[in-house]
Structure 1
Amino acid sequence: MAQIQHLTDITPQVSADQLLAEMHPSYRFGEVSFDTYIPDPNQPSQAAAVERLRRFAGSVGQGTGGGFLGKLFGKSKSKEPAGLYLDGGFGVGKTHLLASLWHASSGKRAFGTFVEYTNLVGALSFRKAVDVLKGYDLVCIDEFELDDPGDTVLMSRLMRELADAGVKLAATSNTLPGSLGEGRFASQDFKREIQVLADQFESMRIDGVDFRHRGLPDAPAPLPDSEVDAVAQERYPDATIAIDDFAALMDHLSKVHPSRYRQMLKGTDVLALHNVETVTNQATALRFVVLADRLYDKDVPILASGLPFDQLFTEEMMTGGYLKKYHRAVSRLTSLVREGQGVAER
């Protein structure tokens, strides 16, 4: 029999030690490799990225990184750049490639989202976070996006100090490093910091079509509200199902730091959402984007009533400064709804 819980009842507390312990690829990417990434023959940049990352992986943990040998011998004299930056649209496999790099590399490695690194700095203090991460050979940052001036200054300093210490860096984003922050804040006022950050990376463009939707129909229609719980329990009789009202969940997310969403979902196998509606507040919408990423990482099927997820965000949001975040969230949520409702399964 399915176990029922409510995300609105869960307010996890996450320590700095827990944050560090969880800095590895998520369940969805726990066993991926370069061999399991299938480049699109029509997109040569994908095969080129695999080859470049394979070479980069071979340079990690070879006495030139931030671990014990890196500290002993100092900054790398290698011609390899401190970091690789994978730029491309959503759904082209950037996270798959970043996780494959983590798995293929040797030495001490950290893997987390941009939000998780900024929260780590908040939990430890900037100086202690730098000291801790200097002990790593590779630091992987998924979903690198600058949302405000504070993040810009913080991450510019962090990347510079880690690169100077010989730590290898790798990041994914939907935006080239030199263009980070555009349309979101007065990025011209932070041009120097953004350039310092960009200088730490060799950028690689990965072109392609969102793999989650290749050859698949549009998102399925939402379920009637009266059927959501029953269908969820019928399809997933042995799962732990989180049943929540959408509005109540949005309110709860406003009270829980986004870095804790992964822990909040730890015991959830399936999400049943009632009365999905368009989110009109941008701060709330951005928090739900983070939840969508964590749901996708954990591969949590979704069953929902109300509006379809392609109507989740306002038109202004879908065309504004954060449009890439919102499009990624819609893409991932649509994939999880297909899985949850058994539509066009692959």
Structure 2
Amino acid sequence: MTPPPDAAPPGPSLSAPSDGPLPALRARIAAGLIARDPAQELAAEKLQDLWRRTRGYDPKAEPPETGGFLSRFLRRKPVEEAPEGAPLGLYLVGEVGRGKSMLMDLFFASAEVPRKKRLHFHQFMQQAHRRIHAWKQQHGDTADPIPPLADSIVAEAALLCFDEFQVHDIADAMILGRLFEALFARGVVVVATSNTAPDDLFKGKPGRDAFLPFIALIKKRIEVLVLESARDYRRERIRGLPTWHVPPDGRAERALDAAFAELTGDTPAKPTKLTLLGRAVEVPQAARGVARFEFDDICGKPLGPADYLAVATHFHTLVIDGIPRLGPENFDKARRFITLIDALYEHRVKLVASAEDHPDRLYERGENAAMFERTASRLMEMQSQDYLALPHLT
């Protein structure tokens, strides 16, 4: 069986990072690690061109602006005056599972830019809001936080690579236009992957008319490429994969280890944090849209529906270790588990888990056992091939 295109390379001998993303992709095809996909090759050619144009690219961050409003206004650069030679970025849009993250991996690993950063777009916006809040606390609500925020970002990265570019929050929409205008004026190059075309961002949301200039700006400073691969590699990876393991013993743990590695293409996982309304959901392991939790990490803490909604929209797959038998003695955990499964089911998140028993026998006694029947039914459906073939709803 040909491994999926998101599989991690077996070693640096396939293609030196300095060769760029296109040779790296071709090396993996030649080694039989991935199947040839014309749509992915076209995207890799575009990324290779951008790789050439950004080699050694290093626009200098401007010092923080001083003086009054008039001096800031006179020195402000419109996006049309972006630094000479600043390359246009690339926006890869396509349905889930088409290999966008794998292509981003190859580009980012090989990019020869002194200051570069790759992160999930949701995480980037969380950081931006925290910095804006800190700036206003120090300088007051009348001070404009956007120029210093842009200065701090470009000081860290002249190349920004965003996974899963998406806009759902009105607070994000309100600052994106000015922030990205300031970033482009400072020479920042943006590469992004998304399931949503720029023209469809924030579609149908209140206040979208005010968001349209940002869409125009994106289309002006970032080339848009639709990845029209006919194959959904993500669904192929999970199709046929056992998703419910009983009991939660060493064999089940090894199976979950293997599933997590398969679903992430062996990408090293790291802890992350989802922040909303001043609170945080700690995610012990996450990579490529897959999160892994011990049961107590996700259901043993005081989390509520908004927290589980954030998890369900942020990750397309969850791996949960050690779901216990549920009953009156651990009712709080059971209640949170029910809320979690509702959120996962409604957003078509895939679940791989180990548990003390099968779903219909997890909660057999106590006054809330009847309430769990719907959850058990959903857990059974979530193991079906029909459910596993459904797209994730963000």
With normalisation by structure 1, the TM-score equals: 0.60
Contact 1:29 1:96 in 2 (8 A): no
State the partner residue of 2:308.
Answer: 284
| 1:221-259 CA distance string (max 9 Å, x none) | 5235xx22565457689xxxxxxxxxxxxxx9978846x
Q: Within 1, Cα distance between the matches of 2:210 and 2:60?
A: 35
Change (3 A) 1:62 1:183: same
Q: Within 2, Cα distance between the matches of 1:101 and 1:143?
A: 16
State the partner residue of 1:222.
Answer: 244
State the partner residue of 1:54.
Answer: 48
Q: Within 2, Cα distance between the matches of 1:253 and 1:161?
A: 25
Amino acid at match of 2:39: S
Amino acid at match of 2:40: Q
Amino acid at match of 2:163: D
Q: Within 2, Cα distance between the matches of 1:218 and 1:186?
A: 43
- Find the partner of 2:123 among 83, 103, 116: 116
Change (3 A) 1:90 1:184: farther
Q: Within 2, Cα distance between the matches of 1:100 and 1:149?
A: 33
Q: Within 2, Cα distance between the matches of 1:253 and 1:79?
A: 33
Q: Report how far residue 129 of structure 1 moved.
A: 2.8
- Find the partner of 2:199 among 170, 174, 178: 178
Matched, 1:210 2:232: yes
| 1:162-186 CA distance string (max 9 Å, x none) | 1111111111110011210124545
Q: Within 2, Cα distance between the matches of 1:166 and 1:30?
A: 35
State the partner residue of 2:96.
Answer: 90
Contact 1:87 1:206 in 2 (8 A): yes
With normalisation by structure 2, the TM-score equals: 0.53
Amino acid at match of 2:313: V
Q: How does 1:1-346 map to 2 (within 5 A)?
A: 34=21, 35-36=24-25, 38=29, 41=36, 43-63=37-57, 65-67=58-60, 75-78=82-85, 80-81=87-88, 83-106=89-112, 107-125=114-132, 126-135=146-155, 136-208=157-229, 209-214=231-236, 217-224=239-246, 227-228=247-248, 231-232=251-252, 257=279, 261=282, 264-265=284-285, 271-273=293-295, 284-290=308-314, 302-303=320-321, 313=343, 317=346, 326=347, 329-330=349-350, 333=351
Contact 1:84 1:204 in 2 (8 A): yes
What secondary structure sits across from 1:134 in the alignment? helix
Structure 1 gap segments, 5+ residues each: 1-27, 238-251, 296-300, 318-325, 338-346
Q: Superposition RMSD on alpha carbons, in Å? A: 4.4
Q: Within 1, Cα distance between the matches of 2:277 and 2:187?
A: 38
Amino acid at match of 2:45: E
Contact 1:85 1:171 in 2 (8 A): yes
Structure number, greater radius of gyration: 2
Q: Report how far residue 219 of structure 1 moved.
A: 5.0
State the partner residue of 1:13.
Answer: none
Q: Report how far residue 155 of structure 1 moved.
A: 2.2
Q: Report how far residue 105 of structure 1 moved.
A: 1.2
What secondary structure sits across from 1:146 in the alignment? coil
Q: Within 2, Cα distance between the matches of 1:185 and 1:29?
A: 44
Contact 2:61 2:186 in 1 (8 A): no
Q: Report how far residue 76 of structure 1 moved.
A: 3.9
Amino acid at match of 2:92: L
Amino acid at match of 1:111: R
Number of aligned positions between the proteins: 262
Q: Within 2, Cα distance between the matches of 1:231 and 1:271?
A: 17
Q: Within 1, Cα distance between the matches of 2:158 and 2:118?
A: 11
Contact 1:60 1:137 in 2 (8 A): no
Q: Within 2, Cα distance between the matches of 1:132 and 1:29?
A: 34
Amino acid at match of 1:118: M
| 1:41-78 CA distance string (max 9 Å, x none) | 4x522111001101101222534x43469xxxx94433
Q: Higher relative contact order at CA 8 Å, sep ≥6: structure 1 or structure 2?
A: 1
Q: Report how far residue 265 of structure 1 moved.
A: 3.8
Amino acid at match of 2:239: P
Q: Within 2, Cα distance between the matches of 1:236 and 1:281?
A: 26
Structure 2 gap segments, 5+ residues each: 1-7, 63-80, 133-145, 258-273, 325-336, 355-394
What secondary structure sits across from 2:85 in the alignment? coil
| 1:168-211 CA distance string (max 9 Å, x none) | 11111100112101245452453223323333211011122221
Contact 1:254 1:284 in 2 (8 A): no
Q: Within 1, Cα distance between the matches of 2:129 and 2:218?
A: 19
Contact 2:147 2:182 in 1 (8 A): no
Contact 2:54 2:87 in 1 (8 A): no
